[in-house]
Structure 1
């Protein structure tokens, strides 16, 4: 079933597409001739970071982005923000045992300017780390594993590439799921139970593909390498014992030399799971993780954040979530509908269970404990194991 023109406009309004979900259209910008110094820095960053010469190099650079940006598009801003975010985190965490709590003006000022235009905080977010950070080896093929590579790395290497590529592949596979959700909601409004069932089956098929991709994480991303070579650079400076006083963005007028506190990059900044929760009527009792996840909305692209708000406010006449309320009303007389819904919830639980297992394997079970790479919190800076288990337990069909 094709999306109606209204639904197509609705998805595109929120910068989402059925073909690639929350990934940008067109593909992320690879280079931009008007930013030669910035482009050079992005290309050399892994080597400079490996030699621990990134800080020294950045300290000598000026005019990373041009003063006039009359011809800049949103794609240009995303391109610049990607490199500036990696450069800033590399500057701060170049020596993970001795991170810096001040960012020089030549990097802080353009970074804050660009991130502000995108409606994002000046910190490496999931959007710059994954959504805007890939290219296709063969542009004629789909966005999928073994056809996507990263545009920007920290140290680089197989484990870092694969870790992010898994996320990009999942994002692409989520596109049909978002479209199916909208079609199912429309069918529910029109009381077309068979169409709702069909769209839930499409949703389940898509979620199965997402789970299959997530299952492949260990193929080329080793837990030890992730913990010691990938994870240290994506930490933020909020609730991080390595940077207890936050970060000073030198030269940024609005911050007035006062330290700022932002969370690190995390998959919790992806819109996929919140969208599925909202569509399937999955709710979570308030706890530190729900508070944290609500905060993560501010790190998402504004259009994606608005999409989640739209889903969460789609209600029926009784004030219930539109889709799950309809399903509940037809639980007894439409067994196929209930079965399709139940399968979707089971797959969401499977996805969460796999993620919980990875959180334990890739982080919690790593024996070395150090202040710059704490095991008790996620990269976003929050305790995770206890509440991830709780949210998994809460992923169950409505009414149960």
Structure 2
């Protein structure tokens, strides 16, 4: 039995919107009177890290969360998880040469409780690092690079700010892309080829703007500064030689003082590229990266994960991907349709090529001075260069 067709009015069910894609509506909470201890800790965190006093400060704190949470909303939980995630990673990596493999109970228990409520593991994820970590300078204007700043930093500074803001801007631009995909699928199901072509042209336009934003990364994020000042704090504790025995979450009953192993924050936890792959019929032969990317779904907000699963199961009567199957059927008699589709695939390849170039420049080519910040693996703990190249090569139109 085929799943019900995805429709744009179902976006809210997946915690999405046509205007801003996977970014939250309303904007993330910048402050919260329900969490005074956390609000103070979040505000002081960059200064405490700079002085290497975050660990000592956390040891002096008692309950980081209020006893009752009856009036907490999902926005409150996201707010709390953002600060707890930054605090925990700051605690672990405060001295990058000597990371700690135990998290004190006052931090571990609160973090586990909040992350469980959000359906994600207790580790800094892309959702807390980027999706839920921005505010608009002018609330009347759109979400774009010259109007967004971060709500929470580690050390702070231009390079950290710009690195994350680039991702937020791309996420905002992806909203119309996701809507165009669903409209194109609806049109394909109704055999409206001209409408499919129009929506693919819209998709290409939004993808072009996403690529243009990604191209701007080097403007204010220097590779050396990223590698030495931004990257060390976002590592996880799975497949990480600096924490080979994982992390013990003290006081968390379900873990029973046994080490836990979670991947670090990475853009691979964004839903954009998997959604574009699914819509355009791009498939990847199984390799360590595809296995890793499947694992990354567990770090996404559950609603976004559900959207990807639904999108990937949109099929025609022949069991083929709904949109790309339709395009393949009309390749010869609808050249404009094929051209619009081909442009979308080329733009996805361009996005991947730029990302591969940054992976080389910002990580692989840096001089590895600390075993705790390796150049051969990503923050998620995978050897990335070989497989990123392979996935770029596999980004080609169906039937080729």
Whether TM exceeds 0.5 here: the answer is: yes
3-state SS of 2:7 partner: helix
Whether the 8 Å contact between 2:20 and 2:172 is mirrored in structure 1 is: yes
* Structure 1 position 3, deviation (Å): 19
Change (3 A) 1:6 1:328: closer
Whether the 8 Å contact between 1:187 and 1:193 is mirrored in structure 2 is yes
- Residues in 2 aligned to 1:221 and 1:161: alpha-carbon distance in whole angstroms: 8
Q: TM-score, normalised by structure 1?
A: 0.98
Say whether the 8 Å CA contact 1:170–1:214 is kept in structure 2: yes
**How far 1:37 sits from its partner (Å)?**
1.1
What is the Cα deviation at residue 370 of structure 1?
1.9
**SS in structure 1 at match of 2:145:** coil
Structure 1's 158 and 197: CA in aligned 2 closer, same or farther, altered over 3 A? same
Structure 1 position 371, deviation (Å): 1.2
Quick check: 1:22–1:131 contact (8 Å CA) kept in 2? yes
- 2:62 maps to what in 1? 62
Q: What is the total number of aligned residue pairs between the two structures?
A: 400
The secondary structure found in structure 1 opposite 2:378 is coil
Deviating beyond 4 angstroms after TM superposition, the runs of 4 or more aligned structure 1 residues are 1-6
Q: Encode CA deviations 1:323-348: one digit per residue, 9 max, x unaligned.
A: 00000000000000000000000000
Alpha-carbon distance in structure 2 between the residues aligned to 1:220 and 1:263: 27
What whole-Å deviation, never above 9, does each CA across 1:173-212 have from its counterpart, x for those lacking one? 0000000000000000000000000000000000000000
Which blocks of at least 5 consecutive residues in structure 2 are unaligned?
A: none
**SS class of match (1:83):** helix
Q: Distance in 1 between matches of 2:46 and 2:6?
A: 45
Q: How does 1:160-175 map to 2 (within 5 A)?
A: 160-175=160-175
Alignment check: 8 A CA contact 2:5 2:314 kept:
no
Deviation at 1:369, TM superposition (A): 3.7
The offset of 1:2, in angstroms, is: 25
Change (3 A) 1:89 1:302: same
CA shift digits 1:132-190 (9 cap, x unpaired): 00000000000000100000000000000000000000000000000000000000000
Deviations 1:70-128 (A, max 9, x none): 00000000000000000000000000000000000000000000000000100000000
Q: Any conservation in 2 of the 1:289–1:387 contact (CA below 8 Å)?
A: yes
Deviation at 1:368, TM superposition (A): 2.5
- Cα RMSD, aligned residues only: 2.4
User: Structure 1 residue 63: deviation in Å?
Assistant: 1.2
Gaps of 5+ in 1: none
